[in-house]
Structure 1
Amino acid sequence: MNVLVLLSIILFALMAIIGGKKGVKSFIALLLNFVILLGTVLVMNDPNANPIWLTLIACALISAISLFYINSVNSKTVMAFISTIVTLIILLAFIIVMTDQSMIQGFGEEETDELVVFSLHIGIDFVKVATSVIIMGTIGAIIDTAISITSPMREIHYHNPSISRKELFLAGIRIGRDILNTSTNTLFFAFFGSSMGLLMWFKDLSYSFGEMVNAKVFNDELISIFTAGMGVAIVIPIASGMTAHYLVKMSKKNNHAK
């Protein structure tokens, strides 16, 4: 049996046993998100397509599936979805400028030997592709942080409906601060784990520290991780503020209706 199929079966079994119905839905959502990512990459091959717009649409679909399909439509998922989209929009201009100025698009000199037999004139703007890669790399961390803030904030408001908007906002910020450390550490550990072979390759090539940190193949991954960390930090006050405003507003509205 193919190893990937076997691992998929084990993952599905574990998610179903431990997560129950929600675990099964999470596995299905994972497959749907994979299909969306694969479809986005295939459509990007069209020279007339704009990779950035395609990526933003894909991120919106991934966010909707990850939040609404698994956790249904409610105040916590709606606020998490909106705060995710707002954070991506805020990061977009920075990512475009940073990608263009850092010149991380395309391939590094270490990869040219393997590409020498291929034509690189494929009619695709690699700056936009690099921007799309960074945006796609941030979406998972932002969604996870957003729902991790809005969900406990809704519980706090449910058990203490008289809480003020400011107190609820500060509670969200405190929750976000606890999440920020673990989320950023997870991003960096994932980077170094996936790049271990690259770092060993640099060592075998006798790269100095300066040559290593200036290598394009190293920088594009590291910049993506830094941007994802920025997204995690930015979404905390956005999700906290929007959720606090919405919950307190709806609470006052319901009290007036009574």
Structure 2
Amino acid sequence: MNVLVCLAAILFILMVLIGGKKGARSFFALFLNFGVLLITIVIMTIPNANPIILTFIACTAVSCINLFYINGVNSKTKTAFISTMTTIVILLFFIVIMTKKAMIQGFGEEEIEELSMFSLFIGVDFVKIGAAVIIMSAIGSIVDVAISIASSMREIFNHHPFISRKDLFTSGLSIGRDILGTDTNTLFFAFFGSYLGLLIWFKDLSYSFGEIVNSKVFSAEMINILSAGIGVALIIPITAWINAYVLVKTRDKNAL
């Protein structure tokens, strides 16, 4: 416990020194996000609760915390929020269908031994739970890309106030291309970092490459990464278009 407190204190001090008040808000936002996730998980265990609707509400709350609480309510955060929610809705429909087809819900055989003493008849839809897990895993990256593009496009517009909508949109896409590669790699290495023990276990059990690829645990995590990557890719043109539309429309309206 002392180690956790020390690490949290170091993180808080660094965030305040580097980010000032916004850094302090970012630190407390971590606990707010954790609270949202904890409440969502508790409600999900209630019989007949719809995990998809709960996930959408949780994503909305997380987006509000990360955008409006940390960065304030302004044109950048508003357009980033609209872009985020649009992407989440598209992803929800895609991931629910994909989860049913891939049949990655539930637990893999590698996890059965630890769960054998518990009953899995808990009255929840594991297909929807699987889709909810994928969406919640992607929300952080999606919000991050949305606010990054919105903020960069605002700076471009401030320095070039008479830029055309098409050129502004193209600039947003150019910024997004630079972000896309690093974010997808971050998602990829986050998986291997968290599941390194599982990969070593596969090696000790002499799994063949085909057995690893077809195992439910590995497949579920790879689908998780790919779905999050799709979300990151989708948010780029959506944010760029919405920002270009709003900024140019506001400029033309003020010019009248």
Q: Shared fold (TM-score greater than 0.5)?
A: yes
Partner of 1:232: 232
1:76 aligns to 2:81 (yes or no): no
* CA displacement at 1:57 relative to structure 2: 0.2
Q: 3-state SS of the aligned residue for 1:212?
A: helix
Match of 1:21 in 2: 21
CA distance in 2, matches of 1:191, 1:114: 21
Residues 9-52 of structure 1: CA distance to partner in whole angstroms, max 9, x if unpaired? Answer: 12111111111111000001111001000110011110121111
Structure 2 residue 99 is the aligned partner of structure 1 residue 99: yes
Tell me the alpha carbon deviations over residues 126-170 of structure 1, each in whole angstroms, 9 at most, x when there is no partner: 111101000101100100011110101011111111100000000
2:80 alignment partner AA: A
Partner of 1:67: 67
| Structure 1 residue 254: Cα displacement | 0.5
| Structure 1 residue 6: Cα displacement | 2.1
Distance 1:229 1:50 in 2: 25
1:147 corresponds to: 147
Deviation at 1:3, TM superposition (A): 2.3
Number of residue pairs matched by the alignment = 256
Distance across 2 between alignment mates of 1:217 and 1:184: 20
Give the secondary-structure state (helix, strand or coil) at the position aligned to 1:48. coil
Q: How far apart, CA to CA, are the structure 2 residues paired with 1:69 and 1:3?
A: 28
Unmatched 5+ stretches in structure 1: none
User: Residue 201 of structure 1 aligns with which residue?
Assistant: 201
- Could you say which residue in structure 1 is the equivalent of 2:111? 111
Which stretches of structure 1, 4 residues or more, deviate above 3 A after TM superposition? none
What stretches of structure 2 of length at least 5 have no aligned partner? none
Counterpart-to-counterpart distance in 2, 1:13 and 1:144: 22
The aligned residue for residue 134 of structure 2 is 134
Aligned counterparts of 1:103 and 1:6: Cα–Cα separation in 2: 42
In structure 2, C-alpha distance between the alignment counterparts of 1:175 and 1:30, rounded to whole Å: 27
Letter in structure 1 aligned against 2:246: Y
* 1:190 aligned counterpart, secondary structure: helix
* In 2: Cα distance, 1:7 partner to 1:41 partner: 26
Pairwise CA distance, 1:211: 0.3
**Over aligned residues, Cα RMSD in angstroms?**
0.8
SS of 1:107's equivalent in the other structure is coil
Question: How far does the alpha carbon of each residue in 1:86-113 deviate from its partner, in whole angstroms, 9 at most, with x for none?
Answer: 0011111110011111111111011112
Per the TM alignment, residue 213 of structure 1 is displaced from its structure 2 partner at its CA by: 0.6
Report the counterpart of residue 54 of structure 1 in structure 2.
54
Q: Deviations over 1:183-204 (max 9, x none)?
A: 1111111111111111000000
- For 2:117 and 2:163, locate their aligned partners in 1 and report how far apart those are by CA, in whole Å: 66
TM-score by length of 1: 0.97
Aligned partners of 1:194, 1:29: CA distance in 2, in Å?
23
Q: Give the TM-score of the pair, scaled to structure 2.
A: 0.98
- Residue 12 of structure 1 aligns with an amino acid whose one-letter code is F
Q: Measure, in 1, the Cα distance between the counterparts of 2:32 and 2:174.
A: 33
Give runs of aligned pairs for residues 152-191 of structure 1, distance below 5 A.
Answer: 152-191=152-191
